[in-house]
Structure 1
Amino acid sequence: MAQDDLYRTVVLERARAPQHAGPLPAATLNGQGSNPLCGDRVQLHAVLDGQGRIEAIRHETRGCAICAASADLMAGRVTGQDRAHVGRLHAELVEAVETGTAPAELGELAAFAPLHQHRSRRRCALLPWSALIDMLNDDKNG
């Protein structure tokens, strides 16, 4: 399957039927991000385990299909990961959407690489990740 086809398939599937959307009543971490230019908004809720890994994470996203799909794929991909690994994944995704080249480690997230051709849509894919990084680095969140 061509990368553009993968992008369309993954984005549409995850935007229509998210697997990690909704509230997380036991959340000990909460974060949010918004893009006032397009109206995308994402709220994140997470629980860390005793070793600082993401034990559970959910998102509540109001925005375009790209933002919703990115938030959902992100939530699935970072579960079980620590802050350092999340930071590396974020850096790899930024590189992919800026250059169009994605390392195999990104898995389904590589579907966003075609956004390198659409500068105005990159922020849609990266907004949930920025919110996650901010949430994990927030001093109030431990």
Structure 2
Amino acid sequence: MSLHNLDNLYRQSVMAYAKHPRHYRPVATTDCNQATKYNPTCGDTITISVELSGDLITDIHFYGDGCAISKASASMMTDLVIGKDKAEIQQLMDNFLKMTMGEQVDTDTLGEAQLLAGVTKFPTRIKCATLPWHTLQALLFSKEEAK
């Protein structure tokens, strides 16, 4: 596939997810497993709520105001982590965050989120793509930061 076709696929995928995000709904204030983060560079705000059974995510949803990249990333991420345990999620997060910094990783594990590798061409947009991932990381792995 040519570079032009990959760029086009990236743009189309981001826009499709941004227009019709999956797992996007308001987070109730009674949801105790939630975290909110803000990206001052772009103005994105995202709140993520999860339901856990032990270390396994059984449900996840997000809400907030964000750019197309942030919303698409959150949607792809929520699809990817349902049914996974914390160890699997940590590995996915590590791979995604490294990928967005231009490092070589096994992108096959990232599903459609691997399409966001294109943000490496736009350094100011990397924070947009990683905001949902950092929010989930704070929620699952550092309770103090998530509150």
2:101 aligned counterpart, secondary structure:
helix
Any idea what the Cα deviations from partners look like across 1:30-65, whole Å, max 9, x if unmatched? 01111112210000111001x311110000021100
Give ranges in structure 1 of 5+ residues lacking alignment.
none
Task: Give the secondary-structure state (helix, strand or coil) at the position aligned to 2:61.
Answer: strand
In the alignment, the residues of structure 2 paired with residue 3 and residue 90 of structure 1 have an alpha-carbon distance, to the nearest angstrom, of 23
Q: Alignment partner for residue 79 of structure 1, among 79, 82, 91? A: 82
Which residue pairs with 1:130 in the alignment?
Answer: 134
CA 1:101/1:3 → structure 2, altered by over 3 Å: closer, same or farther? farther
Q: CA deviation at 1:24?
A: 5.1
- The amino acid that maps onto 1:79 is I
Contact residue 24 and residue 45 of structure 1 kept, 8 A: yes
| Mapping of residues 1-142 of structure 1, within 5 Å | 2-23=5-26, 25=28, 27-49=31-53, 51-99=54-102, 101=104, 103-139=107-143
RMSD, aligned CA: 1.9
Q: Helix, strand or coil: the match of 1:99?
A: coil
Percent pairwise identity: 31
Figure out how many residues of one structure are paired with residues of the other and give that number.
140
Distance across 1 between alignment mates of 2:100 and 2:52: 28
Contact 1:100-1:116 within 8 A present in 2 as well: no
Question: What whole-Å deviation, never above 9, does each CA across 1:107-134 have from its counterpart, x for those lacking one?
Answer: 1011111111111000100000000000
- Residue deviations 1:83-127 (CA, integer Å, cap 9, x gap): 111111111111211117552111101111111111100010000
Deviation of the 1:27 alpha carbon: 3.7
SS in 2 for 1:75: helix
Alpha-carbon distance between aligned partners in 1 of 2:11 and 2:61, rounded to the nearest angstrom: 23
- Secondary structure of residue in 2 paired with 1:55: strand
For 1:71 and 1:61, the matched residues in 2 are separated by 10
